[in-house]
Amino acid sequence: MSKGKGHIPIRTCISCGRKGSKKSMIRLVLSESGSVVRDKSGSAPGRGAYVCNETRCIELLKEGRRLAKAFRRKC
């Protein structure tokens, strides 16, 4: 499929499940040391997960379970 001028990438928040444009969400990635960091450029290598830019969703991430599930790897 080609990406036309009207293509808007859609991502799903790992906290609330809401769908939104890639630009409206915060991308998280695993750093080389294994910690989760914010990917400000939106193009860091590796597995990424998205979260809404809302306090409620960010607070839910502090529980840890959602992050662990998002970055779980299959062996």
Task: Express each pLDDT in 6-52 by its tens digit.
Answer: 888 999 999 999 999 999 999 999 888 888 899 999 889 888 999 99
* 17, two tokens: 């499940």
* Cα separation, 11 vs 32, whole angstroms: 24
Domains identified in the chain, total number: 1
Task: Express each pLDDT in 55-74 by its tens digit.
Answer: 999 999 888 788 888 887 65
Does a structural domain hold residue 27?
yes
Please name which of 30, 35, 34 lies closest in space to residue 46, comparing C-alpha atoms: 30
Does a structural domain hold residue 75?
no
Does a structural domain hold residue 2?
no
Q: Which residue range(s) make up the domain with 16?
A: 10-70
Q: What is the pLDDT of residue 4?
A: 60
CATH code of the domain containing 54: 3.30.1230.10
* Cα separation, 48 vs 38, whole angstroms: 10
